């Protein structure tokens, strides 16, 4: 595993985290319906976690000699609360898979601290995914 390959992969993760920050911010503003207060609270709480992940990734990319991306992955268009939660669930699944792979890459690269941090991020994203799936369960 060479440094540039790892930096490129971490930049993909950063673009996804930037998407998550934007997604949760915009969706929390747009969400409507009977569960709006609960969904706004859920979404806005996630912004802080995703922003911390983005900051960690940007810092690590720079520490590795790379240039952090400023381009987020596009946020899926969603008009209903259900569409928003489905888009969130897909993004969280992608994050879990990405960080799991990235932890393996960091292990191969020999950066144990990065492995530990990425595994913590897997735990965070898995928790976000599980909570989102609970919100979607039995949705009419």
In this predicted structure, what is the pLDDT of residue 139?
Answer: 80
Using the predicted structure, report yes or no on whether residue 34 has a pLDDT greater than 70. yes
Q: Which residues contact 75 (CB under 8 A, 6 or more apart)?
A: 19, 22, 23, 26, 87
Number of domains in the chain: 1
Strands (E) across the chain are located at none
Whole-angstrom CA distances from 88 to 17, 23, 63, 130 are 12, 8, 30, 11
Structural domain of residue 42, as residue ranges? 3-136
Average pLDDT over all residues of the chain: 96
Q: What is the largest CA-CA distance in the chain?
A: 50
Mean pLDDT within 24-42? 95
pTM of the model as a whole: 0.95
What proportion of the chain, given as a percentage, has pLDDT over 70?
99
CB atoms within 10 A of CB 74: 10
Where residue 77 sits, what CATH number does that domain have?
1.20.1260.10
pLDDT in tens, 60-119: 999 999 999 999 999 999 999 999 999 999 999 999 999 999 999 999 999 999 999 999
- How many whole angstroms separate alpha carbon 98 and alpha carbon 28? 25
Mean pLDDT within 40-66? 96
In this predicted structure, what is the pLDDT of residue 140?
Answer: 65
pLDDT bucket at 138, cuts 50 / 70 / 90: confident
Q: Which two tokens stand for residue 64?
A: 């590795």
């Amino acid at each position: 595993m060479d440094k540039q390959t790892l930096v490129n992969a971490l930049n993909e993760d950063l673009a996804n985290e930037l998407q998550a920050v934007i997604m949760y911010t915009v969706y929390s503003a747009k969400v409507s319906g009977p569960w709006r207060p609960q969904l706004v609270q859920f979404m806005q709480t996630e912004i802080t976690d995703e922003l911390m992940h983005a900051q960690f990734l940007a810092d690590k990319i720079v520490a590795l000699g790379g240039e952090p991306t400023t381009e987020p992955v596009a946020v899926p268009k969603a008009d209903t609360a259900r569409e928003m939660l489905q888009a969130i669930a897909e993004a969280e699944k992608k994050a879990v898979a990405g960080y799991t792979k990235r932890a393996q890459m960091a292990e191969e690269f020999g950066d144990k601290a990065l492995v530990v941090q990425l595994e913590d991020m897997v735990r965070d994203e898995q928790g976000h995914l599980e909570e989102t799936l609970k919100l979607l369960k039995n949705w009419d």
